[in-house]
């Protein structure tokens, strides 16, 4: 038998088996494995499935015994502590915002992000980002506080993003912004703040990559193994005039589920987000 013929006889996981293991969190190598015959494949599938079920049940048992918070909540707590320690002040702002606020972000008619907005009645929507609210607070607090000062918010954002392994309709954004440092310090400060968040998350290896944003123009993304976890930038920016901001700023927006996905090596973001199928990263049909 030729090598090609031998290869053709080797079998892969069935679609149902692959789907089951994917849901349980199997890595691509496991999903792509090739077996000598169907019996060997079915035995390997069973072994993987049993392993995931055992681990999942153990993890849920530990969560229950320790009263452990979900990874998302735990990460929010770590980030609050780290940012509070660095002098940032936490704010909580409305989840429902106005069309006007989006227009002031440059997201007017015909803008691509507009398609992704969950609209409510009366020209209001569920916020797709935290920036409009933070811009407003920067201006208002800027009348009162000396420079530099920083604020941050952690909270839900909503986008009709095409469903994929790294997009959720509702996700958790951390947005931090600092106003009033000299413009020439902004890039170094951006790197320092990215390091602060990545360190608090527990991710050592990441890269800063220059990109273009539909909203802000030139930006820096934080990437982990090529996957974006944050977009960041420095002002002044052409949008600032809409918000009455005239000083330099540095701002970073992280997706918390993306951070968890990167740190835990999850193949699918759903596992890290608000879910009825997973609790603390464990699939419940085990
Ligand atoms: P992408 O290009 O990956 O769709 P984006 O550039 O549109 O993301 P930003 O507007 O830069 O996203 O938002 C800041 C961060 O919020 C992103 O770096 C990402 O971590 C997170 N994020 C954005 N959209 C989603 C989503 N639909 N689901 C989960 N996280 C998201
Ligand atoms: Mg981005």
Domains in the chain (CATH in brackets) are 3-67 (1.10.287.540), 71-272 (3.30.930.10)
- Closest by CA to 191, choosing from 220, 148, 153, is 220
Cβ contact 228:222 at 8 Å: yes
CA 178 to centroid of ligand 2, rounded, Å: 19
Cβ atoms within 10 Å of 238's Cβ, excluding its own:
10
Beta bridge partners of residue 232, listed in sequence order:
220, 252
Whether the pTM exceeds 0.85: the reply is yes
257 lines ligand 1 (CB under 6 A): yes
- Classified as helix, coil or strand, 221 is strand
Residue ID of nearest Cα to ligand 1 atom 22: 255
167 lines ligand 1 (CB under 6 A): yes
Instruction: Look at strands 89-90 and 149-158 and give their pairing.
Output: parallel
CA 240 to centroid of ligand 1, rounded, Å: 21
Query: Which pair of structure tokens corresponds to residue 193?
Result: 């703040």
Q: For residue 148, is the peptide bond before it cis, meaning its omega torsion is within 30 degrees of 0?
A: yes
Residue 217: predicted pLDDT: 75
User: One digit per residue, pLDDT tens: the chain, 286 residues?
Assistant: 676 666 666 899 999 999 999 889 898 899 999 999 999 999 999 999 999 999 999 999 999 999 999 999 999 999 999 999 999 999 999 999 999 999 999 998 888 889 999 999 989 999 999 999 999 999 999 999 999 999 999 999 999 987 789 999 999 999 999 999 999 999 999 999 999 999 999 999 999 999 988 777 789 999 999 999 999 999 999 999 999 999 999 999 999 999 999 999 998 899 999 999 999 899 999 9
CA 229 to centroid of ligand 2, rounded, Å: 8
Helix residue ranges per DSSP H, 67-211: 71-85, 99-104, 131-142, 186-201
237 lines ligand 1 (CB under 6 A): no
CA 42 to centroid of ligand 1, rounded, Å: 38
- Closest by CA to 263, choosing from 207, 228, 224, 230, is 224
CA distances from 171 to 78, 130, 183, 226, 259 (A): 18, 12, 31, 20, 11
Which ligand has the shortest distance to the CA of 113?
1
Cβ contact 159:169 at 8 Å: yes
255 lines ligand 1 (CB under 6 A): yes
Residue 1: predicted pLDDT: 64
For a mutational test of ligand 1's pocket, the pick from 152, 170, 253, 272, i.e. the residue with the most ligand atoms closer than 8 A to its C-beta, is 253
| CA atoms within 13 Å, Cβ hemisphere of 21 | 25
Cβ contact 153:92 at 8 Å: yes
Measured CA angle at 206 (ends 18, 261), to 5 deg: 35
168 lines ligand 1 (CB under 6 A): yes
Tell me how far apart the alpha carbons of residues 18 and 154 are, in angstroms, rounded to a whole number.
35
């Amino acid at each position: 038998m030729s090598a090609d013929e031998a290869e053709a006889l080797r079998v892969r996981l069935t679609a149902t088996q692959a789907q089951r293991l994917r849901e349980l969190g199997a890595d691509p190598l496991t999903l792509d494995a090739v077996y000598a015959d169907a019996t060997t494949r079915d035995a390997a599938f069973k072994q993987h499935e049993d392993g995931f079920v055992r681990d999942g049940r153990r993890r849920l048992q530990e969560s229950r015994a320790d009263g452990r918070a979900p990874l998302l909540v735990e990460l929010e707590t770590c980030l609050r502590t780290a940012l509070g320690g660095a002098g940032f002040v936490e704010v909580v702002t409305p989840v429902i915002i106005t069309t006007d606020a989006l227009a002031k972000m440059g997201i007017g008619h015909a803008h691509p992000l507009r398609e992704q907005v969950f609209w409510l009645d009366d020209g209001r929507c569920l916020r797709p980002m935290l920036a409009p609210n933070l811009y407003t607070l920067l201006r208002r607090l800027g009348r009162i506080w000396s420079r530099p000062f920083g604020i941050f918010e952690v909270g839900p954002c909503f986008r009709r993003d095409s469903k994929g392994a790294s997009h959720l309709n509702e996700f958790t954004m951390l947005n931090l912004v600092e106003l009033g440092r000299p413009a020439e310090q902004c890039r170094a400060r951006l790197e320092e703040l990215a390091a602060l968040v990545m360190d608090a998350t527990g991710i050592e290896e990441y890269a800063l990559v220059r990109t273009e944003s539909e909203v802000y123009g030139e930006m820096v993304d934080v990437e982990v193994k090529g996957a974006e976890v944050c977009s960041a930038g420095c002002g002044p920016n052409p949008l600032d005039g809409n918000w009455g901001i005239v000083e330099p700023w540095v701002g970073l927006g992280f997706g918390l589920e993306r951070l968890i996905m990167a740190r835990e090596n999850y193949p699918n973001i759903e596992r890290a987000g608000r879910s009825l199928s997973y609790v603390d990263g464990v699939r419940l049909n085990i």
